[in-house]
């Protein structure tokens, strides 16, 4: 039997330890829901969080979108293995084979491999139609179906556009009509503007334990993340959705949401995850599949800029747990909270990450190299018989979170393809990484945090271009740059982004093939919000960059 008072006290201790302002906890066990909140929903106002506080669910949204899509499959209006072109005849990406053969199943389980090069689709109702139109030239990160590689926004946006064409409604309306209303939900919505501000949790960043939580300057994700990341909800509403997976497709009110066959398909159609330890060894349709000491657990996580969410469904135990917080994500926090609850309910606890094996005989040269895609760059190198990974942080993320622009980790071998990546920072939990798919004597991919990064053939040798901007619209300028960072031209690198303390000036350094190419790219995104001058810079000394 769960001791709620003891659990609340323990959660309060953990919130203080991690400097997280609040968390809402929900437990669905044998059809009954217990929910409560601890802490404050805004660190500045100190207003207490309650069970009715609404949090951003981030990528947990994908489970909701997948569930709504499975209704269309039940109705015979869509097929998991029919080409996307069945409903979107003009669908096209750079690879003709992918254009013709990508299916909803590839989108649901993140094996489509399409780069998230969708530009700025705007904030209108037609945002997903525009995203699909914008990827006509999008390249492949990997061949279709070759490996798992998480798509934060694009894959589920394509899926949403298929749903819109079939149903003749916008995605937001589809979710309301197909899920929220039949489930009887009154606190769940698809957009930031729909959330009652008096009930909304405020997102926070934690740049140091001494400073504690500070209100995030970004209140919500762009609308392009909608089907993959923009649902806001309460713990009770999330568990009402989770009930569908525990009761063969039925809502707690008895309404059939999807068939029992659809639930089985969502759970049993799986692909392996190259890095199996932090999230889970397999990915199903809108669900992560975990193994907790022999019990199969279905899950999805989510995070926005300052909020985080964790959902775990244990069918064999008749149990579902949700944690919503207004900071994070921190894996060790959620594990400590859930492991406080699980034993009282007779359920298995969450396994620890595996211990490294220093005796493994590895040829370190097989792993060395640069692995990257727009927005992320990992350099693996060997020194004195040890592997190290250097991660180049997105400059906008570094500015937002106070992180250095380059972080180096030691890689401790777990197996021939898996490594533990401990962190010296009290703000980071240990991670794992997979370096795998050996061809021509070297690994082809690096997979961590569910994202896949292909090996690059050579490092960029292009020109360093310094862009010095006089800003006319501070918010618009930095929002545009955040969008631009994900759309870097192939081979380009963004090595610096800094602002003056008064916000009127900014300096950015981009490496590409010419001043003109950088100017064209930069003006397309930031032109309306600043006047910018462009200069070729010496590579080693550009705006004080460290020499290599």
List, by residue number, the catalytic residues.
59
Residue 228's nearest CA partner among 368, 82, 68, 364 is 68
Q: State the Cα–Cα distance between residues 475 and 499, nearest whole angstrom.
A: 12
**Token output for 179:** 């899920």
- 42, 21 in Cβ contact below 8 A? yes
Q: State the Cα–Cα distance between residues 211 and 92, nearest whole angstrom.
A: 48
Q: State the Cα–Cα distance between residues 328 and 18, nearest whole angstrom.
A: 9
SS3 string, 193-214, reads HHCCCCCECCCEEECCCCCCEE
User: DSSP letters of 237-276?
Assistant: HHHHHHHHHHTTTB-TTS-B-S-HHHHHHHHH--EE-SS-
Q: How far is CA 429 from CA 298, 336, 425, in A?
A: 22, 13, 8
Residue 383, phi-psi category: left (phi > 0), alpha (psi -120 to 50), beta (remainder):
beta
Cis upstream peptide for 329 (omega within 30°): yes
SS3 string, 29-64, reads ECCEEEEEEEEECCCCCCCECCCCCEEECHHHHHHH
Backbone phi and psi for residue 339, each to the nearest 5 degrees, phi listed first: -70, -15
In which residue are the tokens 């015979």 written? 76
Q: State the Cα–Cα distance between residues 141 and 112, nearest whole angstrom.
A: 9
Q: Give the torsion through C-alpha atoms of 217, 210, 376, 309, to 10 deg.
A: -70
In which residue are the tokens 């590895």 written? 362
Pairing of strands 451-454, 431-439: unpaired
């Amino acid at each position: 039997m769960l001791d709620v008072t003891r659990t609340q006290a323990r959660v309060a201790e953990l919130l203080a330890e991690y400097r997280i302002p609040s968390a809402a906890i929900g437990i669905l066990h044998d059809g009954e829901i217990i929910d409560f909140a601890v802490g404050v929903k805004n660190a500045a106002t100190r207003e207490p969080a309650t069970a009715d506080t609404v949090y951003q669910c981030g990528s947990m949204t994908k489970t909701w979108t997948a569930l709504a899509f499975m209704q269309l499959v039940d109705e015979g209006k869509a097929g998991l293995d029919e080409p996307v072109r069945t409903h979107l005849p003009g669908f096209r990406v750079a690879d003709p084979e992918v254009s013709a053969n990508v299916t909803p199943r590839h989108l649901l389980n993140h094996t489509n491999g399409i780069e998230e090069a969708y530009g700025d689709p705007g904030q209108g109702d037609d945002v997903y139609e525009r995203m699909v139109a914008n990827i006509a030239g999008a390249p492949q990160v990997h061949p279709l179906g070759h490996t798992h590689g998480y798509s934060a926004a694009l894959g589920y946006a394509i899926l949403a556009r298929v749903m819109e064409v079939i149903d003749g409604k916008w995605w937001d309306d589809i979710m309301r009509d197909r899920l929220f209303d039949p489930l009887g939900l009154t606190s769940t919505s698809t957009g930031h503007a729909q959330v009652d501000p008096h009930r909304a949790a405020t997102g926070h960043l934690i740049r140091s334990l001494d400073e504690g939580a500070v209100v995030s300057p970004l209140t919500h994700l762009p609308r392009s993340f909608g089907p993959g990341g923009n649902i806001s909800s309460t713990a009770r509403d999330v568990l009402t959705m989770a009930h569908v997976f525990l009761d063969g497709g039925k809502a707690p009110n008895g309404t059939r949401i999807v068939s029992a066959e659809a639930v089985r398909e969502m759970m049993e159609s799986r692909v392996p995850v190259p890095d199996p330890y932090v999230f889970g060894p397999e990915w199903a349709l809108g669900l992560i599949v975990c193994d907790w000491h022999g019990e199969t657990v279905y899950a999805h996580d989510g995070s926005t800029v300052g909020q985080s969410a964790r959902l775990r469904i244990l069918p064999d135990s008749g149990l579902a747990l949700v944690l919503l917080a207004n900071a994070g994500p921190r894996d060790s926090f959620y594990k400590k909270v859930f492991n406080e609850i699980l034993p009282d309910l007779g359920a298995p606890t969450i396994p620890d990450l595996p211990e490294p094996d220093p005796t493994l005989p590895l040829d370190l040269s097989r792993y060395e190299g640069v692995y990257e895609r727009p927005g992320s760059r990992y350099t693996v190198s060997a020194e004195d018989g040890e592997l190290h990974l250097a991660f180049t942080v997105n400059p906008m993320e570094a500015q937002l979170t106070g992180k250095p622009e380059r972080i180096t980790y030691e890689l401790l071998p777990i197996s021939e393809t898996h490594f533990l990546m401990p962190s010296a920072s009290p703000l980071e939990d240990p991670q794992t990484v997979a370096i795998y798919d050996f061809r021509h004597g070297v690994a082809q991919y690096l997979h961590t945090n569910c994202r896949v990064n292909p090996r690059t053939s050579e490092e960029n040798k292009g020109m360093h271009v310094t862009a010095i901007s006089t800003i006319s619209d501070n918010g618009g300028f930095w929002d545009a740059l955040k969008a631009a960072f994900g759309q870097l031209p192939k081979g380009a690198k963004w090595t610096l982004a800094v602002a003056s303390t008064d916000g009127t000036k900014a300096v950015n350094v981009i490496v590409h093939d010419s001043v003109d190419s950088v100017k064209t790219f930069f003006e397309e995104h930031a032109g309306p919000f600043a006047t910018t001058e462009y200069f070729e810079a010496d590579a080693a000394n550009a705006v004080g960059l460290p020499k290599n």
